Amino acid sequence: MHELSIAMSIVDMAQEEAERRKVHIGAVHLELGALSGVVKEALLFSYKVACDGTPLEGSRLVVKDVPIEVYCPVCKVPRILASMQWFCCPDCGTQTPEVIHGKELVITALELKQ
């Protein structure tokens, strides 16, 4: 399960930042794209395991799901895909290979604990 190694990296990065700023972390906020290759539920479970015995023990991992957004060359606007099986514009049906969003795996914020 590669989610555990990802969770361990998230914990390490958050812990380094907390030590650098001399703060305590209550939550780590993350954007997770549908095409990231990461299973959200496995990552949430792995985060709790990775936090055990660290200063982040008891903190939360808050995940914002990022849908697949592509650019339609015919409509000339970004579109959200209804399914990751069909990379076609949901309005005009044109194949849309240009992915704008959906591959994210990004820490966006650290929530401090009082």
Burial (CB < 10 A; 0-12, 13-18, 19+), residue 87, is middle
Q: Residue 89 annotated as binding? A: yes
Q: Residue 92 annotated as binding? A: yes
Whole-angstrom Cα distance, residue 81 to residue 75? Answer: 14
Q: Residue 51 annotated as binding? A: no
Q: Partners of 71 in the beta sheet?
A: 78, 98
Binding residues: 2, 72, 75, 89, 92
Binding residues for Ni(2+): 2
Binding residues for Zn(2+): 72, 75, 89, 92
